[in-house]
Structure 1
Amino acid sequence: MKPDVERATSRVDLNLFRVFDAVFRAGSLTQAAAQLHLTQPAISNAIARLRLQFGDPLFVRDGRRVAPTPRARAAAPEISAALQVLQQTLATPQVFDAASSSRRFVLGMRDVLEFAMMPRLTQELLAEGPRLQLQSARIERRRLDRELAAGALDLSIDIPVPVGEGIVQEALFEETLCVAMRPDHPLARGRLSVKQWLAARHVAVSSRRLGLVLEDVVLQREGLRRDVAVRCQYYYAACHVAATSDLLLVLPRYYGEWFTAHLPLKLVHLPLELPSLQVMLYWHRNAEHDPGHAWLRERVRTLTRRGAPRP
């Protein structure tokens, strides 16, 4: 490091970066002040000092809130990660004793995986650590890197998504897709063909308002399309729709197996060649050697070693 850079960084108050991180996440000087138990003038003064260090406004007014500049957005993940490393260095013990720990673990996952994994994972984790806390949180995929870096999520369990260099990803399991329909559906009598499947009407599941779901992406590549009559946010609702209509539903087999025991549904093989549903485990490199984090990752691996847990 050059002498002039060393002198500049040696004069930086590390508390300024705590303020930066709080303002960036809250989008508000007032909320950041409340979180850090500081006055708003103190927050404003800290941001002003950082602006001099960065040579950039960092945050600009956007109505009643503040919006980060491109320079601030670029620096935010690194600052958050550095603060997390410092916090872990001070707070994390060298060993993790699950039996006596009251640590809270936050796992990012969507509703289908929460349904499959949380009951068994809760049972097994609390058997070893009765005082542990476990929380499932909905994933915002565009914010995944940031939330893992900031420690807002310990792990994320999801389908393959693009992530940055600071994120470690590991394949957990693959699951096949199948078709669900009511048992007395006209197509339930024989083997479902591609022609029959395409000619039928469908219920699809997506958390997004617009855009293609997996089945339709594959169909589009083949120059085909299907008729989606209903689009639900969750498989739970879609299964009830399929059980009370002539609509067909494509869903993960582990999910369908549970619902066939609770709803009038029949599962059949998907006639179209679709890739298996791949599920990945994500975490930030800063947590790689944390004993508690390593313990949690191994428990998740053990639970999914033979595929998706059957509820």
Structure 2
Amino acid sequence: MDKEAYSELSLRELRVLHALLQQRSITRTAEVMEMTQPSISKMLRRLRAQFSDPLFVRNGQAMQPTAKALDIADRLRVLLAAADGLRSSATEFDPARSDRRFSLLLTDVGMIHFLPPLIARLAAVAPDIGVRAVPLDARQFEYRLETGEADLAFGAFPKAARHLRRQRLYFDSYSSVLRKRHPRVRKCQSLAGFLAERHILVTGSETGHAAHGIAHRVLASAIPPTNVMLRVPSFIAGAIVSAETDGIVTLPANLARRLAPSLGLIAFDTPVPLPRIEIAQFWHERYHRDAGHKWLRNLAFELFSGTGRQT
């Protein structure tokens, strides 16, 4: 490829190529890049012309990279990391004067727990800093952190890639909730009474609740199948259904305490022993020494762990 062709390459096009190499799908690439499929297709045609190579060929429904695409994949990753590094300032970061924008990956539960206190603190100490909350998908959160599409992810990911940086924020337990006018409020809080009641089971999903899988299996094995009235993938949906029925739903304790007063629910310790949930913040190595990023991580640690400082 000649020098003129090289000069026409843009970082955005290279990011799309990197995403295509990761996703092997125009549809999924459009989702993670927040672009339309026609835009991705148009950019791929341009990349093919610039590299004088098809870059990807169809193999059934999948897109397989050509030898040339595989050959440039590692160099492309290094190039994009270097480009991102240019944006990282080694100088002091002044949050009171910064207008930086941060993207956070959060589950639906995380948005309720993390965003209100975080936004309130930012309004007080860094009013021009913006935050974009992005729904957390356990299948793509590592990729979004790697590419710089997100700065931090909050949640429970015991199987997260080891190359990601992480810092524990707190442990959460489980509580069960039922409506205040439930006919057997006290009886439900004993093990026998709990197992005899109708239940709403939250199955968890790949959109951020993967760590809930063990707790779900424990509950599903303890509760008679005939007593399961509903299965849902959302803790919040389960709580709303519980507020309007006699069903019991088991939630992370922080969420149960947050939702119970507004939904007219009573929270109590789940009588079935369940594992604790380790909640952490995750980020990519390339931002580890970035002054603004470090400030945000320290702020999150201060707000959600209570004491201690990040090292």
TM-score by length of 1: 0.77
Residue aligning to 1:259? 259
| SS in structure 2 of the partner of residue 97 of structure 1 | coil
Q: Within 5 A, what are the aligned runs for 1:1-311? A: 15=9, 19-25=13-19, 27=26, 31-32=39-40, 42-48=46-52, 58-61=55-58, 67-69=63-65, 79-80=76-77, 82-90=79-87, 92=89, 94-190=91-187, 192-206=189-203, 208=205, 213-219=213-219, 224-227=222-225, 228-306=228-306
Unaligned runs of 5+ in 1: 1-11, 52-56
Following superposition, the deviation at residue 265 of structure 1 comes to: 1.2
Following superposition, the deviation at residue 287 of structure 1 comes to: 0.6
Following superposition, the deviation at residue 95 of structure 1 comes to: 2.4
How many angstroms apart in 2 are the aligned matches of 1:225 and 1:101? Answer: 52
How many angstroms apart in 2 are the aligned matches of 1:16 and 1:192? Answer: 61
How many angstroms apart in 2 are the aligned matches of 1:272 and 1:23? Answer: 49
Give, as a single letter, the amino acid of the residue that structure 1 aligns with 2:150.
Answer: L
| 1:153-177 deviation per Cα after TM superposition (whole angstroms, max 9, x unaligned) | 1000011242224311221101221
Following superposition, the deviation at residue 283 of structure 1 comes to: 0.4
Give, as a single letter, the amino acid of the residue that structure 2 aligns with 1:272.
Answer: V
How many angstroms apart in 1 are the aligned matches of 2:276 and 2:73? Answer: 36
What is the total number of aligned residue pairs between the two structures? 283
| SS in structure 1 of the partner of residue 139 of structure 2 | helix
CA-atom RMSD in angstroms: 3.6
Unaligned runs of 5+ in 2: 21-25, 31-36
Change (3 A) 1:285 1:91: closer
Give, as a single letter, the amino acid of the residue that structure 2 aligns with 1:44.
Answer: R
Change (3 A) 1:47 1:205: farther
Change (3 A) 1:203 1:191: closer
Change (3 A) 1:80 1:244: same
Structure 1 moving runs of 4+ over 4 Å = 12-18, 32-35, 70-78
Give, as a single letter, the amino acid of the residue that structure 1 aligns with 2:136.
Answer: I
Give, as a single letter, the amino acid of the residue that structure 2 aligns with 1:136.
Answer: A
Change (3 A) 1:105 1:46: same
| 1:93-146 deviation per Cα after TM superposition (whole angstroms, max 9, x unaligned) | 522221121111011010111101101100112322111110111111121221
How many angstroms apart in 1 are the aligned matches of 2:46 and 2:240? Answer: 54
